[in-house]
Homo-oligomer: A and B are copies of this chain.
């Protein structure tokens, strides 16, 4: 098995020790660049990321690792009790989490279960909503059986929206979640991409993306079938 990615670098000693005792190999990284530099030829086996110490860097790294062509998984996040509430809007950044400081036995059990369930491929590779299907592996989109020719940003935007059907997102939220936190650009950019998406979805399905005036955009129907 390839080594695990570990953040931060140097890693907390008790974490390194727990991994060693459980016979996992690992390499510490300090940011995205060093992660790319020290990545094994066959890629990382997974990631263990301590968010309790440097949340900024940790979440930024998660985001970068998840955004790659082949998103890194599984990712186990170590968070402090006070950070539990922060997880809600970052569900896509990790596959499991563990309170930090941790009990070695719990930590080990989580790692084991994580590899078990991702190893068997139970994690969905598809995002589906009604007639729309996004294949996350091949980067292809299909609607009503017809392939959609989407650009990168269009695909990312649609993927994010379709992953949270029914929910309203402001332009600012979309910019930070799809374009990236550090992105600074006009909010109208979102409008234009929404428009192109609607055009490519076709007249029949353009209404999959709804405008909520003064708020933002929503994908799909509400939970009440409005």
Q: Which A residues are within 8 Å of any B CB, using their own CB? A: 81, 84-85, 87-88, 91, 94-97, 99, 103, 105-106, 108-109, 112-113, 116-117, 119, 121-124, 135, 137-140, 142, 145, 147, 151-152, 166-168, 212-215, 218, 222-224, 226
Chain B residue nearest in CB terms to A128: B119
Looking at the assembled complex, report how far the CB atom of A117 sits from the nearest CB atom of chain B, in whole angstroms: 7
Partner of A137, one of B85, B94, B142, B168: B168
CB of B117 within 8 A of CB of A152, answer no
CB of A97 within 8 A of CB of B109, answer yes
| Chain B residues within 8 Å of A117, by CB | 91, 95, 123
| Chain B residues within 8 Å of A212, by CB | 139, 152
| Chain B residues within 8 Å of A119, by CB | 124
| Chain B residues within 8 Å of A96, by CB | 96, 113
CB of B88 within 8 A of CB of A124, answer no
Contacts A124-B119, A137-B166 given; does A91 touch B113 at CB 8 Å: yes
Looking at the assembled complex, report how far the CB atom of A42 sits from the nearest CB atom of chain B, in whole angstroms: 13
Looking at the assembled complex, report how far the CB atom of A97 sits from the nearest CB atom of chain B, in whole angstroms: 7
Partner of A105, one of B85, B151, B168, B213: B85
Contacts A85-B105, A113-B97, A147-B226 given; does A214 touch B152 at CB 8 Å: yes
For the complex, what is the distance from the CA of A80 to the CA of B86, rounded to whole Å? Answer: 26
CB of A106 within 8 A of CB of B84, answer yes
| Beyond A91-B113, A124-B223, 4 additional pairs, beta carbon < 8 A | A84-B109, A91-B122, A97-B113, A138-B223
Chain B residue nearest in CB terms to A95: B117
For the complex, what is the distance from the CA of A142 to the CA of B84, rounded to whole Å? Answer: 31
| Chain B residues within 8 Å of A122, by CB | 91
